[in-house]
Amino acid sequence: MSDGIRAVLPGVYASSRAAALAEVVDLVVFDVDGVLVDVSQSFPVMICEVVAQYLRERGFSGSGPAMTPEETRWFKTAGGFNSDWILAEAAVLYFLVKAERSGHRTWDVLSGEAPRLRDVLRDVSRLGGGLAGLRRTLLQSLSREEAARVDASLDRARIERLAQEFYAGPQSPAVYGITPETYTGPALMASERPLVAPSDLPPDLHYGLYTGRTAGETAAALALTGLAPRLAAAAVVNADSGISKPDPAGLMRAAQASRPRVMLYVGDNLDDWDTAARYETERGPTDPPCLFAGILAGALGPASWELFEARGAEVLADSVPNLLRWLATRQAMAAQV
């Protein structure tokens, strides 16, 4: 890691350059999932349920799960799958392509056939990640006619609708403005828990969000954490804002709303890192610098340290409360000099 990252407080690691910048950070922009809210029992489970339900609707069957929550993490480590709806679409695509090649529709068998999912996603990572990389990797083995049949079987709107129903359940009308038609069980979002409390936020800083959540999902997360009063509305960017990661325009918007000296973006996956890196590359001479902090307990799991380190992240933390405690300590020390 650049500049010799080291432990600076329990659970926080930073370079000397990052420590100096931390002294003048006055805007903290958060991702939500894995940063402010523990979603380990909601979105990964939702993806697995959606994949199985969609495949059943297309004539597939299996004796076990079509996908496990651990396998959804492999997509995150490949990069480019910040949207869990797109991740579900990508997982469905994987099975549709393998079914087209083999001629059968039993997901237990398809999962064990080459190419295995983890190998496919390693190739996708080398191509830059995301759905485009997955399509390029998978469809190259199909004829034009076979690829057309796969595309005809892939209904993005249906996948998104299932994702909404499984995630929000009875709360779907409030979160998405829809009435559940297929899934009538409890909301998976009810399993989420806050990772940050309002008391964890130092009072002298400004705060914003840049998240892939929809406006309804964002409102639910803020109700869970109680953080809404601490956020500047103009510095909250979600999927309904028309900007999605890794586009740095979301950070640009947050910076324009607060006009900080230095901005800190806190995320837990590679798309968050890419967003901050692109911001630094594309910002103008009057735009504030952006320091990135990677949360180690989020979407990337045990691989998070290695993946962030390989990209040169200069701040890593096991939790947002510990990160903010370090930030407040650095600023208090600077004020005494």
Any bridge partners for residue 61, and if so which? Answer: 106
- Structure pTM? 0.94
Query: Quick one: pLDDT at residue 1?
Result: 41
Query: Quick one: pLDDT at residue 120?
Result: 96
Of 182, 227, 171, 226, nearest to 42 by C-alpha is: 171
Phi, psi angle pair for 250, to nearest 5°: -65, -40
d(CA 161, CA 45): 15
Strand-strand pairing, 315-317 and 193-194: unpaired
CATH class of 6-39+192-336: alpha beta
d(CA 126, CA 163): 28
Query: Quick one: pLDDT at residue 334?
Result: 81
User: Residue for token digits 């999932």?
Assistant: 33
- Residues of CATH 3.40.50.1000 domain(s) within the chain? 6-39+192-336
Of 103, 125, 27, 117, nearest to 65 by C-alpha is: 117
Query: Quick one: pLDDT at residue 337?
Result: 66
pLDDT tens, N- to C-terminus, the chain (337 residues): 445 899 999 999 999 999 999 999 999 999 999 999 999 999 999 999 999 999 999 999 999 999 999 999 999 999 999 999 999 999 999 999 999 999 999 999 999 999 999 999 999 999 999 999 999 999 998 999 999 999 999 999 999 999 999 999 999 999 999 999 999 999 999 999 999 999 999 999 999 999 999 999 999 999 999 999 999 999 999 999 999 999 999 999 999 999 999 999 999 999 999 999 999 999 999 999 999 999 998 888 888 999 999 999 999 999 999 999 999 999 988 888 6
